[in-house]
Amino acid sequence: MKIILWATLTANGNYARSTPAHPPKPEALADFAAQVGAIGNFIVGRQTFQEFQSQPRRSAEDAGATFARADIVVVSRSGEVKGPTVVGSAQAAVAHLRERGHAAALLAGGEQLHNAFLAEGLVDELCLNVAPVLEDAGLRLHLPPGGFASLRLLASRDLGGGVLQLRYALAPTPRSGAIA
């Protein structure tokens, strides 16, 4: 199953935070809804899921119906969330969607969960939206200490509103000591 990490970055390379004062760009949200519609699922960390639930709908677009049809998998060790499918690990989220017959999974965040998937080598593609904003030191997408991965640019697209989307394939990370 192909796993696509979908995230918005700031122009200074941060993993963009979403707050009521600084919500995500509508163009990025519309792209997320379109990709959920096409793929039919998303995997999300407990914190981001609860933030998502607590936010008012920001647009009249039919994203609510798209999400209602999607398989939503919340990852949480504590299980402190009610409603959709809740699993205890990244691997369990992938196994759940595979059992449900999905050919691809969209990984929606947040920072902790995205980095957990990267650390476990579970990401096949990155779909990164660079938003025209700057932040403070902020959050980061990263590999574990010493990690390095080559990316292959698959596509770039202007989403409008100053948001540029870069899609990359993530080459498998060579194991330490392996001959390239």
Q: Which pair of structure tokens corresponds to residue 86?
A: 């809740």
Nearer to ligand NAP, 143 or 180 (CB): 143
Q: Which residues pair with 155 in a beta bridge?
A: 167
CB of residue 179 to ligand NAP, shortest distance in Å: 31
Distance CA 41, CA 164 (A): 23
- Is 78 a binding residue for ligand NAP by CB under 6 A? The answer is yes
**Tokens coding 87:** 């699993």
Residue from 1, 64, 80, 154 touching ligand NAP (CB under 6 A): that is 80
Q: Which amino acid, 15?
A: Y
- CA angle centred on 137, ends 90 and 33, rounded to 5°: 45
Per CB under 6 A, does 90 bind ligand NAP?
yes
Query: CB of residue 180 vs ligand NAP: minimum separation in angstroms?
Result: 29
In the complex, the residues that contact ligand NAP under the rule CB under 6 A are 7-8, 15-18, 45-48, 51, 75-78, 80, 88-90, 108-113, 116
